[in-house]
Structure 1
């Protein structure tokens, strides 16, 4: 049975039991959340942004996703709630003076501290490595530890001095319960924004309708005024008195000429002098005889 040489098999070699559940290394899990982008899985580098759920991303990776959402990405589920650049906030982080970067263990002959964070809290000095809770403010983007926010309770940012509210505080890489609460808050904000937009659109429509009615009434008034002026012009042209072309008579004559041009010409009117009629091109003095008109002969260079 395959036991040559007098070997005696043991029970665990013959009977296969249930597989052991693989446990995730806590240090690796913390490093994946706090040192690598949630979308591209690359190391975090400035500029670093965060969403309404408290996840950390590289800004370049998010912009690439927004430009081409059809491309296949391994962690696209972490960015489904991001609709545009307004849904993310660039973080104002404080560098850790003990962080040496990628050159800290180039030779491999030194102890590498996996818990050393790239950034720290500017108030308390705790490292941003996942062991301590951190949060950021949506109003300004500054990042602080939860301990600093509890010990120094103010409504003004500790770093930049901008005011903020309780709703502006968002926990970074929180637990499942905290992420669900942040998701509910995000949906409430978006629903409120939609209602505000709908109210503004309705208000704009109500404002535009009375203005349109005013425009219609004004246009009707203008039409009535034009018709009355034309009628008055026709009456004045029929009852005009002959005389020199003065300031008042010339203005009335020009108005009546435009209105009565379709009915009869100005030269046929009896109430106008010859001097006034000679001002227009319809007068006999403005016309040329056949002898004065010139005959134009065209000749092309291609004609032989």
Structure 2
């Protein structure tokens, strides 16, 4: 049985088998790791920095990521472990004199040699194209090939002479096992840094401790001066003298109802005139009965 045009289908065209696993081109993967920024996917350009896991970034891309950590950025997961600029190290790379870049490809018909890299190892001369393992030092940022560190064993940097330890050596674009080892070192390093930092006391506790220390310093000086009367309680004579003064002040202010104040005086007993006394309710004229007191009666409520 054929199809239109007289063609006969074959078995692999009619029966669908399991899908083949897509393999990543190794050359393309190496070019992406060693020539492009992990965060912005742009070509690496100086200044170039590396994180504690050995990934390469452009410095300006890291700064933009720290300033704007939006959830919409899918590539932000690759730099989620970068908390500040202290988490990255600026690399000191050695240029490859044999690398021409785009200078000779003016017409666009030149073959791109993927084995040729922009940077090389300053000790051995190996090109940093991903075919050889490279590493850098956290203390100074110098980049070397792993072969150079193994062949020339030293406790100082081969370029700047800075002392380093084994934990300061970080492999660039390593395998999954290398990344797990570097992640464990990073977490242990950050934990030690947190333990070294001393907890800050609150301001209230600091002021209280300062007050206690000042009182402790003043107490011995007062004891040596030999004047206990100044720091001790007031004697009874001073207390007694203070009592009459407060009573006199109360009398001069004329406030009634407080203990120690003068007694109230009736206006009827005063030496004022009878006309002035009749203004108050204590006068005899205010004590007359309703029959004796006159009251005004009007026939209409209108006022003319």
Q: TM-score, normalised by structure 1?
A: 0.69
Q: 1:201 aligns with which of 165, 180, 199?
A: 199
Q: Work out the CA distance in 2 between the residues paired with 1:201 and 1:172.
A: 36
Q: Which has the larger radius of gyration?
A: 2
Q: Which residue matches 2:34? A: 34
Matching of residues 1-304 of structure 1 within 5 Å: 3-70=3-70, 72-197=72-197, 200-201=198-199, 212-218=211-217, 228=230
Alpha-carbon displacement from aligned partner over 1:85-138 (angstroms, at most 9, x marks no partner) = 110000010011111123332313322201111100000000000000000000
Considering fraction of residues, name the structure with more helix: 1
Are the structure 2 counterparts of residues 222 and 143 from structure 1 closer, same or farther at C-alpha, using a change threshold of 3 Å?
A: same
Q: Which residue matches 1:248? A: none
Deviation at 1:169, TM superposition (A): 0.5
Alpha-carbon contact 2:123-2:148 (below 8 Å) kept: yes
3-state SS of the aligned residue for 1:103? Answer: coil
Q: Work out the CA distance in 2 between the residues paired with 1:157 and 1:150.
A: 13
Are the structure 2 counterparts of residues 226 and 81 from structure 1 closer, same or farther at C-alpha, using a change threshold of 3 Å?
A: farther
3-state SS of the aligned residue for 1:75? Answer: helix
Deviation at 1:43, TM superposition (A): 0.4
Alpha-carbon displacement from aligned partner over 1:181-234 (angstroms, at most 9, x marks no partner) = 00000000111111111xx338999x96865532123456789969729x9xxx
Q: Which residue matches 2:295? A: none
Q: Work out the CA distance in 2 between the residues paired with 1:139 and 1:4.
A: 72
Q: Work out the CA distance in 1 between the residues paired with 2:25 and 2:193.
A: 41
3-state SS of the aligned residue for 2:170? Answer: strand
Q: Matched residue pairs, number?
A: 235
Alpha-carbon contact 2:2-2:8 (below 8 Å) kept: no
3-state SS of the aligned residue for 1:105? Answer: coil
Q: Which residue matches 2:284? A: none
Q: Which structure 2 segments of 5+ residues have no match?
A: 239-245, 247-304
Q: Which structure 1 segments of 5+ residues have no match?
A: 236-261, 263-304
Q: Which residue matches 1:270? A: none
CA RMSD of aligned residues (A): 3.4
Q: Work out the CA distance in 2 between the residues paired with 1:155 and 1:204.
A: 44
Deviation at 1:174, TM superposition (A): 0.4
Deviation at 1:21, TM superposition (A): 1.4
3-state SS of the aligned residue for 1:89? Answer: strand
Q: Work out the CA distance in 2 between the residues paired with 1:220 and 1:104.
A: 86
Q: Work out the CA distance in 2 between the residues paired with 1:7 and 1:26.
A: 39
